[in-house]
Amino acid sequence: MSVKRPQKSGRAARQKRGSKTPWFRQNWLDVLVLGAWSMTLFRYWITGKLFLLLHPDYMWLANSAAVILLGMAIFKLVKGRRRIQAPPSHTTLLPPQLSSLILLGVAVLGFIFTPQAFAREKAIQRGISDSLTLTRSQPQRFVRQASSEERTIIDWIRTLNVYPEPDAYADQAVNVSGFVIHPEEWPEEYLMLSRFVLTCCAADAYPVGLPVQLAVSRQAYAPDSWLQIEGKMLTSTINGQRQLTIEPTKIETIPEPRNPYEY
Amino acid sequence: MEQLSNGLTLFFSLLVEAIPFLLIGVAFSSLLLFFVDERTLIKFLPKTPLMGAIAGSLMGVFFPVCECGNVPVARRLIVQGAPSSVAVGFLLAAPTINPVVFWATWVAFRDQPEIVFLRVIFTLVIAVTIAWVFSRQPDMRPILHPAVARQMPQIRKSEPINPLLRSGTFLLLTDGSTLQLDDPAAILTKTPAQPFAVKIQLVIDNMVQELKELGAVLILGSAIAAFVQVAVPRDWILTLGQNFITSILAMMLLAAVVSICSTVDSFFALSFASTFTTGAQLAFLVFGPMIDLKNIGLLMTLFKPRAIIYIFILAAQMCFILTLFMNLYVS
């Protein structure tokens, strides 16, 4: 891969030159820090794991940063031998060597660590709801879709937010996918089909979900497993609350999607 | 185990989102250092206190630097004779009122545009007011750090004194003037013309240096944000974060301690978006860039402690009052 080449040749060049003078070591560390961060960002880009971290609208920013950091690393490698006194600009909070080591360590950790899509535990910790009123996102537009099967879970929640009466949606066809949560306070034959919604990055991911009324115990569907559910809508009373609920006609186990979030 | 994995995912998502903006920020601040001459700018600034305060507060639009880059710029402005209202306004507002920070805040809070705009408005109100207060002190030397005060223009005005009679190390320039070598600000303002290639290298070297310093602080900040999200029980955060007053105080304290760069602090605040009141998030975004631990270290090189305490008290009070008003009457 063309991406990896500069770092490899860089390492060879560094070994050849050795590190006798102290300033050269600093430069060597700079190249390593910049290169490591570039590689980490390239890795998330190429493996598609960036989907687990960012909203797709902002991925180009991270991807450009990967390219620019690589360019800076190469520049430092080629031009770094000439030493030019930079003007004094900052007094720093951390000693420069420590900063470099923190940056390098985290870049390496990022290169090894594979981000995981948030799942049930995170959803419960964040406080799941079937309404967006508790969350930050206010619907900015309301798009009427031709058919109700095309709505995703977040589309359903947004629609409910605008018109909350569950009976209004009775018998509408539904076809959604999401991961399984077993809310403790719900009866055995109900599970929650849930999705995380992202506005900017994983830091603001919040869960939304719809109840599913099963004919059997929910133990048949393990928490965190992914399901594609077809069926129709009905109103059921769960824990004394009237809620829009899916009555499934077909439940299919699916693998976790490459992009598990909705927007 | 799952909590650790969630925490790390959160941590890296903050970093991956913030690093591009950090890169843009350090690129601008480095370019400005070598390609913009503040003296030309000062000539165009209004001289009346209020207008000076407003102009200084808005100057960040042309100087997209975060709170670490603005202290050196403010210092150069003061040394070159900018009025106190301009310098203080710039110092407080520039880290927030600049295009890069506005864009980053927009990316983070696009669903709550009121946060993006109120951040700018509140910062302007606070910065202009404090700058106006400081303009009552036309001669800034009594409140400046002695090293900065010595470089003030009054000394230059009396420059008919033969430079030979002044102490220090001087370089005789080709036009017969002198350049004081042991005065960093003078070197910055009177950098001899350098070839473009050297300037570019200086810019990149400076970018790398700033990237390392600010990147490390960003990492610490992101680690704190991720830790709070996964490890602190949600009940505690909600109790603290949903109260009108404690939420603001908590976020202001957090802003002062975390010292995260203003270019990327909106992503930090975003991770508290669902648990803290809107006013509290605004308090973080407005107060953090003005005063934080890292910044106080920088300010100590510019002001005497007395002036820093004034700025701190005024900024904290106004920020608290404005965001409390926001919590009580707007959101």
Q: What are phi and psi of A174, to 5 degrees?
A: -135, 140
Do residue A129 and residue A217 come from a single domain?
yes
- Give yes or no for a contact between B312 and B256, defined as CB atoms under 8 angstroms apart: no
Do residue A161 and residue A105 come from a single domain?
no
Does residue A263 form part of some domain? no
Do residue A156 and residue A208 come from a single domain?
yes
| Least confident span in A68-77, A187-196, B166-175 | B166-175
Predicted TM-score of the model (pTM): 0.76
- Residues in chain A closer than 8 A to B292 (CB atoms): none
Do residue A129 and residue A249 come from a single domain?
yes
Does residue A222 form part of some domain? yes
> With an 8 Å Cβ cutoff, is B209 touching chain A?
yes
Do residue A127 and residue A242 come from a single domain?
yes
Identify the pLDDT of residue B158.
42
Dihedral sign of CA atoms B288, B293, B294, B300 in order: positive
Does residue A73 form part of some domain? yes
Q: How far is B29 from chain A (nearest CA, A)?
A: 11
> Which H helix or E strand runs over A213?
strand A206-213
Which chain A residue lies closest to B20 (C-alpha atoms)?
A65
Do residue A228 and residue A193 come from a single domain?
yes
Instruction: Output the domain CATH number for residue A193.
Output: 2.40.50
Identify the pLDDT of residue B263.
81
Tens of pLDDT, residue by residue over A208-239, are 888 899 888 888 888 889 999 999 999 988 88
Which site among A89, A161, A261 would you substitute to test the B interface, given the most B Cβ atoms closer than 10 Å to its Cβ?
A: A89
Tens of pLDDT, residue by residue over A121-151, are 666 666 655 444 334 444 445 555 557 778 8
Please give the structure tokens belonging to residue B231.
């490890």
Please give the structure tokens belonging to residue B23.
């890169």
Report the alpha-carbon distance of residue A252 to residue A239 in Å, rounded: 27
Amino acid at A139: P
DSSP A86: P
Does residue A68 form part of some domain? yes
- Residues in chain A closer than 8 A to B274 (CB atoms): 126, 134-136, 204, 206
Do residue A125 and residue A247 come from a single domain?
yes
- Give yes or no for a contact between A188 and A224, defined as CB atoms under 8 angstroms apart: no
- Nearest CB to A90 within list B2, B187, B213: B213
Q: What are phi and psi of A87, to 5 degrees?
A: -65, 150
Do residue A124 and residue A248 come from a single domain?
yes
Identify the pLDDT of residue A142.
52
Q: What are phi and psi of A162, to 5 degrees?
A: -80, -40
Do residue A32 and residue A108 come from a single domain?
yes
Please give the structure tokens belonging to residue A53.
């971290």
Report the alpha-carbon distance of residue B183 to residue B150 in Å, rounded: 10
Of the candidates B3, B66, B12, B27, the one whose C-alpha atom is nearest the C-alpha of residue B219 is B12
> With an 8 Å Cβ cutoff, is B72 touching chain A?
yes
Report the alpha-carbon distance of residue A177 to residue A187 in Å, rounded: 22
Which chain B residue lies closest to A96 (C-alpha atoms)?
B213
Do residue A146 and residue A52 come from a single domain?
no
- Give yes or no for a contact between A53 and A21, defined as CB atoms under 8 angstroms apart: no
pLDDT at A73 over 60: yes
Do residue A167 and residue A226 come from a single domain?
yes
Which site among B12, B66, B187, B302 would you substitute to test the A interface, given the most A Cβ atoms closer than 10 Å to its Cβ?
A: B12
Does residue A259 form part of some domain? no
How many CB atoms sit inside 10 A of residue B206's CB?
22
pLDDT at A185 over 90: no
Do residue A64 and residue A103 come from a single domain?
yes
Which residues on adjacent β-strands are paired with residue A129? A208
Q: Which domain holds residue A79?
A: 5-84+93-112
The total domain count for chain A is: 2
Question: Which portions of chain B are predicted below pLDDT 50?
Answer: 155-160
Burial of B42 (0-12, 13-18, 19+ CB in 10 A): middle
